[in-house]
Amino acid sequence: MKIICAWCNKDMGEKEPLDNLETTHGMCPMCHFSVMIEALVVNVEKETKRLRRAYHLLSGTSPCLSELKTQEDVDYCADIMLTQIRQRG
């Protein structure tokens, strides 16, 4: 069975059963690395946005009440405030 990378179509060799002429797919090491780096960058960007928003909410540099639009916002800010209190105490 021939193995090709589902992302770049690179030939990755064969696997059993060798008499099977069908093609299967996998991910080559370079594509795997690229996908993992891209996912990491996306997660860092999302978390950076969340932390900036929390900073503005907690530091008073934005109108806090109008910024807390969802229960998730309130919970997130509360968690950060509790963490800060625990670290100081």
10-residue averages of pLDDT along the chain (89 residues): 95 91 92 89 79 71 58 74 71
Residue 11: name the closest of 21, 22, 25, 30 by CA.
25
- In the block, tokens 């960058």 appear at 41
3-class SS of residue 77:
helix
Say what the pLDDT of residue 51 is. 77
Please tell me the distance from the alpha carbon of residue 84 to that of residue 80, in angstroms, as a whole number. 6
pLDDT at 4: 96
Give residue limits of the domains in the chain.
2-88
Contacts (Cβ under 8 Å, ≥6 apart) of 38: none
Q: What pLDDT does 79 receive?
A: 75
For residues 58 and 81, is the Cβ–Cβ distance under 8 A? yes
pTM, entire model: 0.51
Integer Cα distance of 22 and 62 in angstroms: 60
pLDDT at 28: 92
